[in-house]
Structure 1
């Protein structure tokens, strides 16, 4: 997806940063040029502070998005991924496994979930970072109970897995 977006902003790094932040946060640009997180209006000022640009850059980025059919189809339909439970998993006695792998290799989620399922553990949540947006994308799996340490070596046996952390 990012390849379809980035070339439209490559001459304007500040606008590129705004577009990246909008995608990263799962914000949506409506037909009137307003920016939303689900049904919550996000002010240009708040977004500009977050990105480190002035609000005119937000406006010009939104203008580019709305004038381009492909961009508007993408940005008008983005939804936030929802709350990732990673930061509260320990407080809830959930398990966490983070897997860093070579980007673009199929089957990692399938194999990891198979290992977890074989232990009789349910998965509460899974989130895979986008390799086009993140330098080191990670697969984060939240489970109903902690993951046994004996699975560490099994996760590392999955093809193209570089690192595994179990919390």
Structure 2
């Protein structure tokens, strides 16, 4: 049976909080570990110092995390295949006259994206981007949907009717 990604990461790093912070930061930022033992964002090499600052750990935690990942086939398969997600349009949406919907979801979040997209498509609005935070990393994950046009506030009540939606912000 294939062990889930976070189960495997927790199993290896639960006794080492600094190493766990490094692994979480690598996943969060889409950083991969290459065969050369270096960390990359796409094809851009990331220095140990830069990652240590971002993860708020000592540089030695970077080295030891890399070593553990390299010596574990399952972890190496995970971390060597991580890809950066690309540009999230959320912070520049207003400049581009796009709409932004942020939906805080609970732990029962199956089907929320489908329900949201159905409501948006009924209004004839195209979706440019959708991004969901990992519910194993975030206590209250946020689903962010960027739309071709700004969304009317009257849709908030429709979004709030969806099972598992805790909060909705439109801007």
Superposition TM-score tier, normalisation by shorter sequence:
over 0.9
**TM-score, length basis structure 1:** 0.97
Matching residue within 17, 35, 40 for 2:39: 35
Aligned 8 A contact 2:116 2:159 in 1 = yes
What's the counterpart of residue 27 of structure 2?
23
The correspondence of residues 108-147 of structure 1 with structure 2, limited to 5 A, is 108-147=112-151
What's the counterpart of residue 56 of structure 2?
52
**TM-score, length basis structure 2:** 0.95
Deviation at 1:81, TM superposition (A): 1.0
3-state SS of paired residue (1:106):
coil
What's the counterpart of residue 100 of structure 1?
104
Deviation at 1:57, TM superposition (A): 1.3
How many residues align? The count is 167
Q: Any idea what the Cα deviations from partners look like across 1:99-119, whole Å, max 9, x if unmatched? A: 112124211000100100000
Deviation at 1:43, TM superposition (A): 0.4
Deviation at 1:120, TM superposition (A): 0.5
Deviation at 1:98, TM superposition (A): 0.7
Structure 1 spans left out of the alignment, 5+ residues? none
Deviation at 1:134, TM superposition (A): 1.1
Deviation at 1:16, TM superposition (A): 0.7
3-state SS of paired residue (1:145):
coil
Structure 2 spans left out of the alignment, 5+ residues? none
What's the counterpart of residue 87 of structure 2?
83
What's the counterpart of residue 12 of structure 1?
16
3-state SS of paired residue (2:134):
coil
Aligned 8 A contact 1:104 1:131 in 2 = no
Q: List 4+ stretches of structure 1 deviating above 4 A.
A: none
Deviation at 1:126, TM superposition (A): 0.1
